Amino acid sequence: MWEIAGDVLEFAADAGLRSVRVRRIERRLAAGQPVRIPCGLRRAGVQPETFVDGGLRVVGAGAECGSAAFVTRSGGARELARGGIFGTPDTSQAEYPTIPYAAPGGGAVVVFQVHHRYLPLLERALVA
């Protein structure tokens, strides 16, 4: 019984903490402050098991004046051009959908995997 109570408590705490983080990122994006959106990234056409964990770091507001980079947990970084086009999200995994992103100017297509609550923030950060 205590094991079930512990699982329920962990689930409730995770949902509450995640919604606080989402609201914080929304406020910081609106103010043009730097944000980090937790997500996974892979090149298009690569097996889904090869997502690299990390976060999208966005500095500044607007596609012209800001920068975005995917930073891995080990410290590697990949610059991403802002102002690209998002494809249709694949919602076969309801909690962590995948969405392709094509950088402007014909750059390489990458696929993000992000928690469904962060998906609108990811789109706003890279398109706006």
Domain hosting residue 91, numbered range: 2-127
Distance in angstroms (rounded) separating the CA atoms of residues 102 and 111 = 9
pLDDT digits (tens, 9 = 90+) for 87-97: 998 878 878 89
Distance in angstroms (rounded) separating the CA atoms of residues 44 and 106 = 14
Phi, psi of 44 (to 5 degrees): -65, 140
* Predicted structure pTM score: 0.79
CATH number of the domain bearing residue 66: 2.30.29.30
> Tell me, what's the pLDDT at 99?
92
> Tell me, what's the pLDDT at 55?
92
Closest CA to 103 of 121, 84, 118, 90: 84
Positions of the chain with pLDDT under 70:
1-2, 5-15, 48, 61-65, 128
Q: Tokens for 47?
A: 């097996």
> Tell me, what's the pLDDT at 76?
85
Quote the number of domains for the chain: 1
